[in-house]
Structure 1
Amino acid sequence: MASVSHPSKIQRQDTGVVTNTTKKPILNLFSQRSDCKYTPAYCEENVWKLCQDISTRHPLELQHCYVVFVSNDSRTVPLWRQKAGKEEEKLVIWDYHVLFLYTPDDRCLVYDLDSELPYPTYFHKYVTETFRTDHILKPEYFRYFRVIPASLFLQHFASDRRHMKRSDGSWIKPPPDYPPITSAANPHNLDDFINMDPTKGLGEVMNLTQLVRKFYQHP
């Protein structure tokens, strides 16, 4: 993923954050951020590695996990509280971003290795801080979300990293230190996941309101 120029006027609109502390603790899938495989600018592979880790250490929990691609037709999606952000509110405009969600019950946790928020963060707090609302944005900046069960993503995703190479073959950003995630049948299908056409690809494409309805249960 790569950052692009951002709109000059985006104002903050906070809403309340509600978490339920009366239920049993949620399983800690990743003890700390530093335990996770991470390569800057390769969010899709970072999340694939999270899925792979869960399938090995907590295979029964994989059914409660989702991968969420964030993008739009213009590939300009504003996200706040990102570590790559330069201003006080850490706003970055990505061409796309990828998140890992864990929903063992009516609660949902978001794992975002590129966020400055706690790892993980409850879904509603993450949305409030990171996506805020589309109402303050021009339509070309509206965020859309392709939601894929983690097991399907783990099985079908492939990337030979061609999108991170310049025309002369040099790297835009240094690649991960492990081999590309590919198969003989499909060496590269990243664009199929970034594409927000709801009639194509795996999973379900949603707008921000639909995403919140799916993953946030009011207490």
Structure 2
Amino acid sequence: MSNDANLILFPKITECSYISCYCEENVWKLCEQVKKTRPAELSKCYAVFVSNESRTVPLWRQKAGRGEDKVVIWDYHVFFMHNPAPTRCLIFDLDTTLPFPTFFSKYVTETFRSDLALRPEHHRFFRVIPAEQYLAEFSSDRRHMRRPDTTWIKPPPPYPPIQSSANTHNLDDFICTQPGKGPGIVYSLMEFVSTFYKPLSSTKNGVGDKE
């Protein structure tokens, strides 16, 4: 992948805030970092929630996955997307075994593969939220990471919970995959690909960067 500064918002994964099993907060922190360090790029950035009605979404190439293909089934997952121009869409996933970042086409092909071989209850849906909106509206008191006795399922981040002025916890609104509910736009896998993947042959002059 090119090291073009216009493409790489985060040259090193070690520069990003990361807490295992808190992907929604990791992505919020990425959005916050862009707003502070590359504000002109924020309008081209998105938080992407992956889930479905049954909250069983298979993903490959995940650090928590098993087997040679590193497959795991999550209730939901969140990654960061930078879409500055056709053929330039990049995915920043702090939980993938793929490079950080990875071009959209490679990431989607290796992480989601196809819904055709999956049962309908495992089909993936994508809620795409502009980064600025995500920063302004997302809230979590981390209740989903507590057991009934209030102990933590996984240790929380060291910083205070992320909360907007309007809510203390609205994570379910972001995980929800019903169109018309919650922020952003919900896409099926095919719709997600057709919206954000622009192969070289579809660009105006047919010229772009090799992935």
Confirm or deny a common fold (TM above 0.5): yes
TM-score (norm. length: structure 1): 0.88
Structure 2: stretches of 5+ with no match in the other structure: 201-211
- Structure 2: how far apart are the matches of 1:185 and 1:126? 34
> Counterpart of 1:136 in 2: which secondary structure?
coil
> What is the aligned partner in structure 1 of residue 90 from structure 2?
109
Shift in Å at residue 25 of structure 1? Answer: 6.0
Q: 5 Å matches for 1:1-219?
A: 26-106=6-86, 107-219=88-200
> What is the aligned partner in structure 2 of residue 6 from structure 1?
none
- Structure 2: how far apart are the matches of 1:160 and 1:217? 38
Q: Which amino acid aligns with 1:135?
A: L
TM-score (norm. length: structure 2): 0.91
Question: 2:137·2:164 contact (CA, 8 Å) conserved in 1?
Answer: no
Amino-acid identity (%): 59
- Structure 2: how far apart are the matches of 1:29 and 1:52? 12
> What is the aligned partner in structure 1 of residue 207 from structure 2?
none
Runs of 4+ in structure 1 deviating by more than 2 angstroms, as ranges, are: 24-27
Question: 2:58·2:72 contact (CA, 8 Å) conserved in 1?
Answer: yes
Structure 1: stretches of 5+ with no match in the other structure: 1-18
Shift in Å at residue 28 of structure 1? Answer: 1.7
- Structure 1: how far apart are the matches of 2:117 and 2:184? 28
The CA RMSD over aligned residues, in Å, is 1.2
> Counterpart of 1:129 in 2: which secondary structure?
helix
Q: Which amino acid aligns with 1:188?
A: H
- Structure 2: how far apart are the matches of 1:115 and 1:139? 24
Shift in Å at residue 218 of structure 1? Answer: 1.3
> Counterpart of 1:93 in 2: which secondary structure?
strand
